[in-house]
Amino acid sequence: MKSHAKSVVIGGGVVGCSVLYHLAKAGWTDILLIERSELTSGSSWHAAGGFHTLNGDPNVAKLQAYTVQLYKEIEEISGQSCSLHLTGGVMMADTPERMDFLRLAHAKGRYLGMDTELITPSEAKAMFPLMDETNFVGAMWDPVEGHLDPSGTTHAYAKAARKLGAEIVLRNRVVELTQEVDGTWNVVTEQGTVKAEHVVNCGGLWAREIGRMVGVELPVLAMEHMYLLTEPMPEVEEFNKSTGREMIGVLDFKGEIYTRQERNGILLGTYEKACKPWSPVNTPWDFGHELLQPDIDRIAPSLEIGFKHFPGIEKAGIKQIINGPFTFALDGNPLVGPVQGLTNFWCACAVMAGFSQGGGVGLALSNWMVHGDPGFDVWGMDVARFGEWATLRYTNAKVRENYSRRFSIRFPNEELPAARPAQTTPLYDTMLANNAVMGDSWGLETPLWFAPKGSEAKDVVSFHRSNDFGPIGEEVRATREKVGVTEIANFAKYEVSGPGAEDFLNRLMTNRMPKTGRIVLTPMLNEFGRLIGDFTIAKAGEERFMIWGSSAAQKYHMRWFEKHLPKDGPRASEVRIHRFDQTLVGLSIAGPKSRDLLQKLVDVDISTKAFRFMDFREMAVGGAPCMVNRITYTGDLGYEIWMAPAYQRLVYKAIKEAGEEFGLIDFGMRALLSMRLEKNFPTWFRELRPIYGPFEGSMDRFIKLEKNDFIGREAAAREQAAGPKLRRVSFIVDAADADVMGDEPIWAKVGGKDYGTVEKPHGYGAPRFDAGGKEVRGSNAAEGASAVRGIVDGDWRVVGWITSGGYAHYVEKSMAQGYVPAALAENESAGLFEIEILGHRRPARINVEPPFDPSGERMRT
């Protein structure tokens, strides 16, 4: 074993071998993979080996599509077969709600270039005759699904990596990780120590233990997972013989099961409600190529439904039940990327769908390590997306919830209950007493909306407008016409101070820093000129700045801030960063009466001239020391009031008492988001993400190219000079009883013109065949399906995608934001655009100016 390496990858499962291969492919040959036992000794060897491209996050779906394409490449390089079976597969819907879910997934696939198709249960049965189609109302066909040999695939990655110069050491456990002052890692193993510039945690079942070696408790948990293999079935053999094809894969939401052909029988796996963690506190190092004791009683409810839906399987004998552990993160997506607070320590773990996602994870991480950027929008997998609240017990509860809901629909207005409440503000009980429906905002309980007195404070979950629609409308109208108060503790809050603070922020941000007592809005870019942040910054003193941003990105942004701090020399101590999290909380009041209300609570002049729009001031509010910004996300006259948690109840009580004469109302986060829509305001991680440039994001007025050499300036200047290819726009939509939710395709009537914004299909796929072996294409006969497949329909073409939307209650319009080709971005013509909502294309038109207060006069008054 070598004593020095540029990078050491810990773990020899499919993910570790993929990372090794991609690093070698990117040109890093001084790399080493260390495995405690043999390759595939964790979860990889007993995996069911299925793969698919669909994912709730379209950006993760792109990486899954890449993974499937990659298998041919690694087979050719390594000479090792992956035993790829590209059969295609269907998702079966047994209720109208599940059919709506499939319509959403099908629509997302349009702008990703995925060749999915909505079909009837009878069409699905023709490809999988073991089912009773009367149990279902529809299905979705995906040609890029199948299965492979887990061991062969892992070894194909490993052999390909070796051919490119990488080294693999087996039967050698890592026992300790330490770091030198210069950042070099000491990887201490049973066979000696390797000094490495980078360490990658691909530990799989032992990823948590590897993290603990460097003081990190990763939110990952292993769950027992069972699938069964049947004896050979005559029906399967007859189908293969008569059609010359394998049976397809099937996912049954109701039964929480998946099936596919395995040799001459069927493999059937479950994600049962009565799930069970494995080794929830510590993973034994001596666990290896062994299975867990099957527990068929635990999966019996799923099997009962499965046998009803697929009676052909019920008659088959069970040859074997496989029960093995797989690792999951809280939301089911991987944990990938650099760990905040550490230097060159990387994660690629919790990849439960390793044969769907392993290739994409390896590509993104290798890009990140070699080039400084993953090359994709990987927020859905970023290890920084969880905060300190994701403790061992919290993780246990959320992973169990996620596992038990793996085949359940997540409605857009559905809040999941496990491990809650985790974090609360001093107003939590008060908000519950006010009949608030609470939501989880990065681990913090946040009021979403307020149910009328006497009614139950609970969401009726739906893809359509629901029981919150009326109350949210009342909250918006009362705020717009009088005054409202809402809790804003869920913002991220930072303080940057020291003699180098202003230079530091000018280097990071695109806008000029404000003068003392003033506020600016500013994006932040990476080196490639892509949007990685959007902040409100106030200059609180000569060497002190207050910063507000997205709560979900706190660790993501701290990682970036720390990366760019002065490291050594006389400037090393000139900048200090403090992240407040919940040690600073806030309230916002907004509406035409908000100044009158606030003036009753303060002892200073806050008239228009004395306290201008975008001013910052420290003042006592209701007798409590506070910081006050004259700005709100409602786009109306209003104020953000920030205080230590000890004062929040006092300030809220004072606001409520003083607000009675002005008709004050409590409003929640959903009303706030409704009001931002009618101002065309973007949101972080929906409209503003690292796949967009600042001019694409229509952030032009905040980009001061002439101010200094800020990070990403050259790339931004090139984007401006060439003109952005895309533009963020706002739509008014002729919706029915459902509004857009995000990720819907945007259609435009552009004739034969190709604007080049829709990604092309991902290479190859299995056509669809009926029971007689005849190819079937394009029927789309499922109830409520769109009239056509694909991304082109006569003069209509999918030209973009929706990022977010909803109902704008004050202007009484359904609205949406999204990205379209720049050439179409200012075309407000009627009849040009349609947006696909739940399988139905609804007329839409761009509105360049916001429909509420387009001049901005109200917020400046």
C-alpha to C-alpha distances, 251 to 52, 404, 546, nearest whole angstrom: 11, 15, 50
pLDDT at residue 772 in the model: 61
Place of tokens 């799930």: 275
Is the per-residue pLDDT at 707 higher than 50? yes
pLDDT of 570 reads 66
| Residue 381: per-residue pLDDT | 95
**Could you give the 3-state DSSP secondary structure of residue 694?**
coil
**Helices marked H in 442-549 — which ranges?**
469-481, 501-508
pLDDT at 36 exceeding the cut of 90 = yes
770 pLDDT band (50/70/90 cuts)? low
pLDDT over 90 percentage in the chain: 87
pLDDT value of residue 347: 98
Asked if 113 contacts 791 with a C-beta cutoff of 8 angstroms, the reply is yes
Q: State the pLDDT at residue 56.
A: 73
What confidence tens digit (pLDDT) does each residue in 507-516 have? 999 999 999 9
Q: What pLDDT is attached to residue 775? A: 63
Q: What distance in Å separates the CA atoms of residue 79 and residue 5, rounded to the nearest whole number?
A: 27
336 contacts 365 by C-beta, under 8 angstroms: yes
Backbone angles phi, psi at 842, to 5 degrees: -110, 135
| Number of neighbours of residue 570 by Cβ within 10 angstroms | 8
Residue position matching structure tokens 């049973």: 190
Distance of CA 523 to the CA centre of its chain: 20
User: Would you state the pLDDT for residue 762?
Assistant: 38
What pLDDT, on a 0 to 100 scale, did the predictor assign at position 787? Answer: 33
Centre a 10 Å sphere on the Cβ of residue 320 and count the other Cβ atoms it contains: 13
Calpha distance 204→399 (Å, rounded): 15
Tens digits of residue pLDDT in 108-140? 888 777 889 999 999 999 999 999 999 999 999
Residue 792 binned pLDDT confidence (cut-offs 50, 70, 90): confident
The pLDDT score that the predictor gives to residue 63 is 84
Q: Report pLDDT for 65.
A: 85
Question: What pLDDT is recorded for position 375?
Answer: 87
SS3 719: helix
Rounded alpha-carbon distances, angstroms, from residue 493 to 379, 508, 687: 20, 17, 21
Bridge-partner residues for 496, per DSSP? 545, 577
- Average pLDDT over the chain reads 93
Q: What is the pLDDT of residue 114?
A: 81
Query: Which pLDDT score, from 0 to 100, does residue 465 have?
Result: 97
Say if CB 528 and CB 514 are below 8 A apart. Answer: no
Chain mean position to CA 268: 29
pLDDT at 586: 98
Beta strands in 330-417 (DSSP E): 335-338, 345-349
- Spatial contact of 510 and 694, defined as CB atoms under 8 Å apart: yes
Is residue 54's pLDDT more than 90? Answer: no
Predicted local distance difference test score (pLDDT) of residue 45: 87
pLDDT at res. 372: 92
pLDDT at 780 over 70: no
